[in-house]
Structure 1
Amino acid sequence: MRYKLLLFISALLFPLLLGGCNFKDIDKRIFVISMGIDKLDDQKNNLRVSLKLAIPQGNPKEGTEQFDIIVEETKTVADAVRKAKSKVDKELDFGHMKVFLIGENMAHDDIYQIINWGVRRRDIQLITLLAIAKPTALDVQKVKPESERIPSNALILGLSKSGTESPYIVTEYLFDYQRRLEERGLDPILPIVKAEGDHFRIDQLALMKKHRIGIELSPNETKLYNLLTTKNLKTNLSGKMEENLYELNLESSRASYKINARPGEEPVLAYEIHIKATLEENESHENMTRPVLDTIEDATEKEINGQVERFLKRLQKHETDPIGFGLHYMSRRWDNVSEWEDWQKIYPRLTFKVSTHVRIHSAGTAH
């Protein structure tokens, strides 16, 4: 009898307990899938916050995707979210937010306030994808590709590379960006998403000087960054030999480096790049014999050496370190008091030496 009485009392108290912890049933919540923040010229309300809300459908395969975008202009992100709640009939849920877009104007100014807000919110996942949006975050939010069946899914698949595997896309998460902000010897990076009609274009990388854009890499420089930081990058390499163009398809790749900064010697950063590839396209009419492939290998090695050296010198010129050379240097030193100051003196004097080894193991199938 006492056991049944306890069960009865527990059943009565359970709704009260849920109400006390602000629990909302799923039918009383609406999910924010992506969020965008733009900087405005208005002195009073200088932030425009756009929230993309997913409207649930019976079957996403039917292609009846529906979403709503709530836009608020205020001084702070937190205030914009509070005001947005007055425009919907359900509780805003950020637990499924996968993409955080920062407008180009905001990225050129200062994004510390935005990152700080995102990290502090306990309901925003630290694996949220970060990107710079061109021309504005709201423009990118409005893009709906024909292939998309779930709101913002095309952007999520692209930025995370869980769908397409492009050598021009660099994935950056909220937790990693926060780490790069606070870490010495490793500068932040953000991919750039451009709205082009009904499609996205993600083929550039922005190197941040802590809280704002430092330089924007070209698509080819973005590919070089991926080649230096990603093992077995799936991409192509272009080249020219005797006025004939050719394309190599990478089967495997790896890159490593060493920093020689002994006292009394000029500091040198030596890169080793190893590539295995197949010949995918060729303008020449001659048979691809082993001696011909060897010649293409030599030409490709020289081309990559030159491109990577120019890329590293550009990073050095702009005093940015997205690969983490400084962190690598300090991790191998014991003088914790002066190692950072030592690196700041060494980096501008670094000489780069790149050695690439290309092996074409197949010329494809010719008929």
Structure 2
Amino acid sequence: MELIRTLQCLIAVVSFLGYSVNAIPGNYPDREDVVIVNSPVLSRAENIAYLYAINTTGIDTEVVEFSKEGGLVSQTVKTGEIFVGDDLFGCYLSVGLPNRYRGTRYGTYTAQFIPEDGPVVTRYGFIKPKTSVLDTRGVYTRTVWPAVSGGTGLASSPDNYIGVRWSPGCRSIQWCKGKKRNVNTGPRLQLTSTDDAGVYTIRRGKRGARGWLVQIKVIAASCPMDSYRMGDSCTSRISNFRCANGGVVLDGQNGCKCPPFFSGSDCSEEVNLPKSRDFVLAVDSFTLRCGELPGGNPKCRGYLFCMGDLYGCKCASGWWGNNCDRPCPKGKWGVDCLQRCPDSQRDCDRFFGPDGNEKGPIYMPP
């Protein structure tokens, strides 16, 4: 694996979405880091792709290393720091269009935060080609939960599968899991066990090396959805506990990992500037908005947020689709547009849900 090293980043001490950097596990869970992939779907002629590695834990000094399976053409890669004024939030990787082997830009990217003190934190993101043959319908990761503590069988769910759209022009596709080849035939794989966790590469015959591939990561929790790990066993959550607004229960803590723009131990609190209602990625004494990222979009349109396990990778609130650039249809809102508006508010705010309507229109910077 070819390694692309960024310059060293002296990260400012910030919090993410309102959480304190001294968060207490089980009450206000540690947000750790987030890798944001801009334009997760690229055409073969598109000029540039950005990946952002944003620090949110308050680690004083660290190095960020980007890597990708298969490497990249060195002259097409640039790295730099993400500054807003004098405040430093992280690093970015921009990948230009190589003259040959344009398919080398597609696949799984990894960003490792290597602090001076403390464990290395690894995050991942995906970029796939724009194609109707290998189309995952906007799915980049799939999280599954065991049915019982200590078991490997999965809890029943209509989402316990991964797959791609089939095309008559694609006579054969190959499934690989890590280095294992031909792990499945056909466009769909049914998930039955936590042992199915891993990164699956689905490619078009001999053209996989030229970029005709997509990847999906299956993430398996260690405890059932209604419990969390305490030591070596799973402990039941309180009966009315749930994660709001598209949040995902943490594996190993009695708390939630919240989507961008939401916070609180159950993700029930909105995060925005009190007056402007900007879409803010980090809030404390400093703020970072989507539009302040290199090549950024102020509405967070076209961003895939990869926040690690068990959250995985999802679009920002209010968007859905392969490229996270399609507004939620009427009656739906939130992360990947998976939340439903109540019957009394069929036209609820697509970014913040039914409560968002009570606070006036959302301001979006030009």
Q: Which has the larger radius of gyration?
A: 1
TM-score using structure 1 length: 0.24
Between 1 and 2, higher relative CO (CA 8 Å, sep ≥ 6) is seen in: 2
